């Protein structure tokens, strides 16, 4: 059966410099195995499949796959899937908010004149990382443990752990080991008062092989909660990611009066096709 398939660039400061996402519309009768096989074929960091909603209050349902596994939630697939759903001519029940159903629950997405943003989901695990794990992270990153000035669990679904280094240069210089079972976020603050607040790098494990993600919504959502709560940042601000691998990602962080944190960025359609799945 032929199905509509879009490829979308998400979080790019400029078109085609963010994180690519594949989105399959018309996914109703696809099996989990078929979705996983197609996600392996696209070989993108994530591919999503859209369905009619099954949860009360949701506008649509999404399932999110890496080339090797399904995720309960991820950030750039959330914005890219919403963009694709809207591009297909769909309208949300609430004109101001799109409600996405995923394995992690309902995710709220809103649209302004320039970009989409999602409301950061609750953290599943949050708090200081134990010393033994910090030591393992330093070993995986090939750095002296003394260079890690702070560390935290930042798990909102994908299982991130985060470490803060003392400078952007230290973050960009990292050359991690090729194998690990950890999903690691690394951060370093810029010194200037204008421009991005900090640089992010994200390393996730695919079957034990460490892969760098160009721009990562879920990690930056959790990091925003960490840095705002610890008074290192005050929203609104922007984050840079992807420079180490020739991308130019820009993540926009805002905060409502009720302290809800929103993660936004640009979305651009790069290609459209009909595929046989």
* DSSP strands (E only) in 139-182: 150-155, 160-164
Percentage of the chain lying above the pLDDT 90 cut:
95
Q: What is the mean pLDDT of residues 65-75?
A: 95
3-state per-residue secondary structure call for 235-260: CCEEEEECHHHCCCEEEEEEECCCCC
Comparing 132-136, 191-195, 224-228, the range with the smallest average pLDDT is: 191-195
Q: What is the pLDDT of residue 214?
A: 96
Comparing 125-129, 221-225, 262-266, the range with the smallest average pLDDT is: 125-129
pLDDT digits (tens, 9 = 90+) for 138-153: 999 999 999 999 999 9
Mean pLDDT of the chain: 96
Q: How far apart are alpha carbons 102 and 99 in whole angstroms?
A: 10
What are φ and ψ of residue 41, in 5° steps?
Answer: -70, -45
pLDDT digits (tens, 9 = 90+) for 160-197: 999 999 999 999 999 999 999 999 999 999 997 779 99
In CATH, the number for domain 2-118+265-276 is 3.10.310.10
Using pLDDT thresholds of 50, 70 and 90, give the confidence band for residue 270. Answer: very high
| pLDDT tops 90 at residue 114 | no
Q: What is the mean pLDDT of residues 48-74?
A: 97
User: Can 2-118+265-276 and 125-263 be said to share one CATH topology?
Assistant: yes
Q: What is the mean pLDDT of residues 17-21?
A: 97
How many CB atoms are located within 10 Å of the residue 67 CB?
Answer: 19
Q: How far apart are alpha carbons 36 and 43 in whole angstroms?
A: 11
Q: How far apart are alpha carbons 214 and 246 in whole angstroms?
A: 9
For 49, the token pair is 């499949």
Q: What is the mean pLDDT of residues 8-12?
A: 97
Helices (H), the chain: 32-42, 75-87, 131-141, 168-173, 217-229
Catalytic residue among 46, 136, 199, 250: 46
Q: What is the pLDDT of residue 192?
A: 78
Q: How far apart are alpha carbons 111 and 256 in whole angstroms?
A: 15
Q: What is the mean pLDDT of residues 117-137?
A: 95
| pLDDT tops 90 at residue 70 | yes
With a CB cutoff of 8 Å and minimum separation 6, the contacts of 194 are none
70 is catalytic: no
Domain boundaries, the chain: 2-118+265-276, 125-263
DSSP 180: -
Q: Which CATH number fits domain 125-263: 3.30.1240.10, 3.40.50.970, 3.90.180.10, 3.10.310.10?
A: 3.10.310.10
The pTM of the full predicted model, rounded to 2 decimals, is 0.95
């Amino acid at each position: 059966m032929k199905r509509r398939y879009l490829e979308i660039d998400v979080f790019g400061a400029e078109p085609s410099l963010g994180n690519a996402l594949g989105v399959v519309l018309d996914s109703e009768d696809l099996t989990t195995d078929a979705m996983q096989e197609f996600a392996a074929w696209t070989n993108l960091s994530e591919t999503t499949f859209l369905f009619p909603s099954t949860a009360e209050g949701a506008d649509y349902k999404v399932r999110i796959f890496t080339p090797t596994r399904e995720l309960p939630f991820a950030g750039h697939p959330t914005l890219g899937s919403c963009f694709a759903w809207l591009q297909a001519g769909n309208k949300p029940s609430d004109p101001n908010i799109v409600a996405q159903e995923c394995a992690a629950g309902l995710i709220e997405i809103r649209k302004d004149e320039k970009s989409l943003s999602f409301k950061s989901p609750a953290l599943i695990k949050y708090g200081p990382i134990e010393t033994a794990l910090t030591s393992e992270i330093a070993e995986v990153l090939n750095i002296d443990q003394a260079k890690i000035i702070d560390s935290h669990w930042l798990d909102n679904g994908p299982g991130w752990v985060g470490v803060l280094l003392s400078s952007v240069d230290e973050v960009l210089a990292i050359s991690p080991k090729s194998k690990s079972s950890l999903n690691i976020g690394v951060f370093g603050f810029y010194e200037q008062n204008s421009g991005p607040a900090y640089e992010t790098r994200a390393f996730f494990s695919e079957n034990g092989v460490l892969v760098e993600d160009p721009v990562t919504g879920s990690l930056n959502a959790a990091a925003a909660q960490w840095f705002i709560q610890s008074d290192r940042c005050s929203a609104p601000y922007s984050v840079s990611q992807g420079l180490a691998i020739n991308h130019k990602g820009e993540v926009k962080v805002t905060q409502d009066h009720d302290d809800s944190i929103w993660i936004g960025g640009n979305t651009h359609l790069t290609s459209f096709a009909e595929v046989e799945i």
